[in-house]
Structure 1
Amino acid sequence: MAKLPRVPKGVLPKAPRVPPPPQLKPFSPRPAQSQPGPPTLEDRSVPRTTAQRVWDERPKAADFRRLSPEEMKAPQHVARVQRWRQWPLMICGIAAFGMGLYAVQMYVSLTQEPEGVEVPEDLSDRFDSEAEGYDEKVDLAETMLRVSARRKEMARKARGHVLEVAVGTGRNIPYYPTKQCATVTLLDSSAPMLAVAKRKWKDTHPEYFSRVFFKQQSAIDPITPPYGAQDGYDTILQTMGLCSTPEPVKLLHSLEAATKEDGGQILLLEHGKSHYEWLNDILDKTAPNHALTHGCWWNKDIGKIVEESGLEVVDIKRYNFGTTWWVELKARKGMRKQLVERVEEEMGVGKAPTAQSRSWWSVWR
């Protein structure tokens, strides 16, 4: 068999040279750095917001202990520290501007005396027109004076059958511990205010809506407890209610008549006179205009009102130069029965029928 001729060496193409695979270096933890390094694979897997990234880049106390004096003088480190110093200054500046603006507005509105207008003692009708925008009007003031925190603290004490008087738009509703409450009765004389409170309760505690009752009446009138609480309410709450009633002592007696004598509690959060006479002079001067605008007299002596009522005082605390009063009261033994009998006598309940008031069927006896 004939042999095939060999192919010359220069004719065949050379095979491409394949580079060897790269050798992986053993993993070693990254040393601590004074400046944040590039994001790792783990960081890339978890999305972070801009605020989180900025917060992670903040100067830490460990950086100042670890860095040398030369590193602390580095332009990058100095720029980072200066950038973070701007945040507290900016926040304090905005807060100071807001407080100053609020103080100026309050001063201008309160120092304007109502000319030619006689301010009545009872201004409860003012709440009907302010119901829808009331929360927005008082939010800033109550936050700055920590009244909202006091509301939350007081509402947490509610238990058993609960009555809240002067509920207004229901500013205490978000803080109610519904698991501690058998029933809740919300009472106010203003129908528009009560409508806002009803809507707020339905949005906040929809699962508890079947055990809450809404009553439109004055708290001075007799208050009928719900079924199961014939002995009275276990807890009665009132926040900023004595300032808007012309008969505060009679109101406290009405609350006492509705309170359970054994273990019942009356909790009040009110604003009134201060510890200081100079502040009381300001409150007295601005009270008529404030009452004409907001419907409440904020210069009442809460301590004197409580003393005249004769209720048993459990605790009294005062905040905000003494103008915010926290009062815990207790019903007196035997007074509930006396007050109920007195009210029934004034209303003519239980009297024997007279000759003029006999029914038509009495002649057949």
Structure 2
Amino acid sequence: MAKIPKVPKTVLPKPPRQAVPPPPPYVPLRARPVRPQRTNLPNQQSPPHPSAQETPIAPPGTTRSDRLKQVWDERPRVSDIKRLTPEQLSAPTHQNRMNKWRQWTLFICGMSAFGMGLYGMQIYVSLTTAPDENAVPDDLSDRFDKEADGYDEKVSMAETMLFLNSRRKALMQKVRGHVLEVAVGTGRNTPYYPTKQCATVTLLDSSAPMLEVAKRKWKETHMEYFSRVFFKHQSAVDPITPPYGAQDGYDTVVQTMGLCSTNEPVKLLHSLEAATKEEDGQILLLEHGKSHYEWLNSFLDRTAPNHALTHGCWWNKDIGKIVEESGLEVVDMKRYNFGTTWWVELKPRKGMRKQLEDAAKEEVEVAVQKSWSWWSFWR
């Protein structure tokens, strides 16, 4: 029996390949518009969510201060709100904008109230547990050795509330040439140094732990200038030797919050005068002390012993009287914060540098002679 032939298969031609379109250009996530939320109501378009508005991208050269200024200029004003209609006032975009600014206002007010309450509690404790002034030792340097690591955190809130950071920054803009900073502490002036105006910088403090923190902070802040910075561990009352190139004295001597920590403030100013260049040298001080008002001075006097035991400084000293007793020429003097913050610019007297150096040498010779005895022959 013959086989039935098979029907031949028909091979269909393959369709031509279509060109794959190129991928769309990449758009940053921040610049992508967000789709409005859908609602279940038919034939009703819901208003876009406030977060759906495109966030403007700042131009490349915009600084942080410019961005903050732009945000501040966009704050809701009373004059603008009065021009809005009731529908615009109830719009989600306007409500979201108002809520954002209310949150920031409440947060700032809450933090300020918390800080003031905490500070008031510390003052109350100081007043109720105030020790006798005679019980406070003359040498309080061990307080700085113990508080070196946590000193910045302890005083940061108080200095921020008193606007001392801006005072420090403005004071440091005046430094130039060979600079000596006395009582440097943990280096709270370090971020404000105009290094391009400084030939060398000498940082001096009697507390080794605090000077170590200042050294670490300077290395992190001004690494490129670290080779021209000298660290001296000594008392500012002792004679200070300037670096090479500044044999006539330092061009600028800076001290912030240092007179309160020594029991010989006049001698300290004389030591600073002896280290300053006589021709055009300058001494810049930022101190805290007595106020314009007697009620505040009485409060400072009552709390001074406890504050000295805790922080190592007397905040009720009369800075003006100390400067007057030193005899230095006053170039400028300003007072802030009810008169408790003193800004003082001094100028060294002509011929006093040589006299003060000779007097310091005589004191050293007298101390050596007193330490000599006939037992030296038997050594």
Q: TM-score range by the shorter chain?
A: 0.7 to 0.9
* Paired AA for residue 282 in structure 1: F
Q: What is aligned with 2:195?
A: 178
Instruction: Pick the aligned partner of 1:143 from 157, 160, 163.
Output: 160
What is the DSSP-based 3-state SS (H/G/I as helix, E as strand, rest coil) of the residue aligned with 1:348? Answer: helix
* Paired AA for residue 121 in structure 1: D
Matched, 1:338 2:351: no
Q: Distance in 1 between matches of 2:72 and 2:288?
A: 41
Contact 2:49–2:93 (8 Å) recurs in 1: no
The structure with the larger Rg is 1
Cα distance change, pair 42–276 in 1 and its aligned pair in 2 (3 A)? closer
Cα distance change, pair 110–205 in 1 and its aligned pair in 2 (3 A)? farther
Q: What is aligned with 1:83?
A: 99
* Paired AA for residue 214 in structure 2: A
- What is the TM-score of this pair, normalised by structure 1? 0.77
Matched, 1:318 2:335: yes
Q: Distance in 2 between matches of 1:123 and 1:329?
A: 27
Matched, 1:249 2:266: yes
Matched, 1:129 2:129: no
What is the DSSP-based 3-state SS (H/G/I as helix, E as strand, rest coil) of the residue aligned with 1:243? Answer: helix
Cα displacement (A) at 1:338: 1.0
Write out per-residue CA displacement over residues 24-57 of structure 1, whole angstroms, 9 at most, x where no aligned residue: xxxxxxxxxxx98579x9949979xxxx9x9999
How high is the sequence identity, in percent, across the aligned residues?
Answer: 72
Contact 1:272–1:300 (8 Å) recurs in 2: yes
Contact 2:185–2:207 (8 Å) recurs in 1: yes
Q: Distance in 1 between matches of 2:166 and 2:250?
A: 24
Q: What is aligned with 2:43?
A: none
Matched, 1:289 2:306: yes
What is the DSSP-based 3-state SS (H/G/I as helix, E as strand, rest coil) of the residue aligned with 2:359? Answer: helix
Cα displacement (A) at 1:64: 4.2
Aligned residue pairs total 311
Q: Distance in 1 between matches of 2:56 and 2:260?
A: 58
Write out per-residue CA displacement over residues 189-224 of structure 1, whole angstroms, 9 at most, x where no aligned residue: 111011111111111111111100000001010000
What is the DSSP-based 3-state SS (H/G/I as helix, E as strand, rest coil) of the residue aligned with 2:135? Answer: coil
Write out per-residue CA displacement over residues 84-118 of structure 1, whole angstroms, 9 at most, x where no aligned residue: 56232443233223322222233323431237981
Q: Distance in 2 between matches of 1:248 and 1:203?
A: 32
* Paired AA for residue 326 in structure 1: W
Matched, 1:214 2:231: yes
Q: What is aligned with 2:130?
A: 113
What is the DSSP-based 3-state SS (H/G/I as helix, E as strand, rest coil) of the residue aligned with 1:125? Answer: helix
Write out per-residue CA displacement over residues 307-328 of structure 1, whole angstroms, 9 at most, x where no aligned residue: 0000000011111111111110
Q: What is aligned with 2:178?
A: 161
What is the DSSP-based 3-state SS (H/G/I as helix, E as strand, rest coil) of the residue aligned with 2:141? Answer: coil
What is the DSSP-based 3-state SS (H/G/I as helix, E as strand, rest coil) of the residue aligned with 1:215? Answer: strand
* Paired AA for residue 289 in structure 1: N
Write out per-residue CA displacement over residues 12-33 of structure 1, whole angstroms, 9 at most, x where no aligned residue: xxxxxxxxxxxxxxxxxxxxxx
Q: Distance in 1 between matches of 2:273 and 2:222?
A: 28
What is the DSSP-based 3-state SS (H/G/I as helix, E as strand, rest coil) of the residue aligned with 1:262? Answer: coil
Cα displacement (A) at 1:147: 1.0
Instruction: Pick the aligned partner of 1:236 from 239, 253, 259.
Output: 253
- What is the TM-score of this pair, normalised by structure 2? 0.74
Q: Distance in 2 between matches of 1:333 and 1:282?
A: 40
Contact 1:302–1:325 (8 Å) recurs in 2: yes
Contact 2:273–2:353 (8 Å) recurs in 1: yes
Cα distance change, pair 59–80 in 1 and its aligned pair in 2 (3 A)? farther
Q: What is aligned with 2:112?
A: 95
What is the DSSP-based 3-state SS (H/G/I as helix, E as strand, rest coil) of the residue aligned with 1:224? Answer: coil
Write out per-residue CA displacement over residues 127-146 of structure 1, whole angstroms, 9 at most, x where no aligned residue: 11111110000000000001
Cα displacement (A) at 1:155: 1.2
Please list, as runs of the form range in 1=range in 2, the aligned pairs for 1:339-354 lying within 5 A after superposition: 339-348=356-365
Q: Distance in 2 between matches of 1:57 and 1:154?
A: 33
Contact 1:188–1:217 (8 Å) recurs in 2: yes
What is the DSSP-based 3-state SS (H/G/I as helix, E as strand, rest coil) of the residue aligned with 2:324? Answer: helix
Q: Distance in 2 between matches of 1:173 and 1:80?
A: 41
Cα displacement (A) at 1:166: 0.3
Cα displacement (A) at 1:347: 2.2
Once structures 1 and 2 are overlaid, which stretch shifts more, 84-93 or 185-194?
84-93
- Gaps of at least 5 residues in structure 2 are 1-45, 59-67, 367-372, 374-379
Q: Distance in 2 between matches of 1:44 and 1:97?
A: 34
Q: Distance in 1 between matches of 2:75 and 2:325?
A: 58
Cα displacement (A) at 1:337: 1.1
Cα distance change, pair 94–332 in 1 and its aligned pair in 2 (3 A)? same
Alpha-carbon RMSD:
3.3
Q: Distance in 1 between matches of 2:263 and 2:126?
A: 24
Cα distance change, pair 72–129 in 1 and its aligned pair in 2 (3 A)? same
Cα displacement (A) at 1:66: 6.0
